[in-house]
């Protein structure tokens, strides 16, 4: 457990932060955003972008690679999408003051994919020979 937290500590803390924010009751009418329509989707996308970058960074550190390998990227994608689905199920079943929206899961998927892509591009740029 200690070694897991060593590599994935920032991602775990960010995931807990996301879970807490997704559990807080907010007073916004259905179909409206906090500041504008679609604000909730943008927030989900940003949350999962940051989470995927932190999780991929932990994977790179754990496996001592210079960039994220495809099998690690696939595993990270599955873990992140499962976490997004868990949040939506919790919002619809446990946090009854929130609504579980599958469009939020799509926003989570887009954010996670963007984060993994950003890590891949950044890793390739850093490790390329000129």
- E strand intervals along the chain: none
**Structural tokens at position 49:** 């972008």
**Structural tokens at position 52:** 């995927």
Question: Is 130 exposed, middle or buried, given 0-12, 13-18 or 19+ CB atoms closer than 10 A?
Answer: exposed
Banded pLDDT at 26 (limits 50, 70, 90): confident
Banded pLDDT at 113 (limits 50, 70, 90): very high
Which is more confident, 28 or 16? 16
Contact 96, 23 (CB under 8 A): no
pLDDT in tens, 68-98: 889 999 999 999 999 999 999 998 889 877 7
Which is more confident, 29 or 57? 57
- In this prediction, residue 95 carries a pLDDT of 85
pTM higher than 0.85 for the full model? yes
CA gap 28, 127 in Å, rounded: 46
């Amino acid at each position: 457990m200690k070694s897991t937290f060593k590599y994935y500590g920032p991602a775990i803390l960010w995931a807990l932060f996301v879970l807490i924010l997704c559990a807080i009751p907010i007073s916004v009418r259905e179909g409206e955003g906090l500041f504008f329509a679609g604000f909730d989707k943008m927030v989900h996308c940003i949350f999962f972008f940051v989470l995927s970058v932190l999780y991929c960074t932990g994977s790179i550190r754990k496996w001592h690679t210079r960039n994220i390998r495809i099998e690690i990227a696939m595993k990270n994608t599955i873990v992140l999408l499962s976490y997004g689905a868990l949040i939506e199920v919790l919002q619809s079943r446990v946090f009854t003051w929130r609504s579980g929206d599958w469009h939020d899961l799509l926003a989570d998927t887009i954010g996670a994919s963007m984060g993994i892509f950003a890590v891949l591009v950044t890793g390739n740029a850093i490790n390329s020979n000129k």
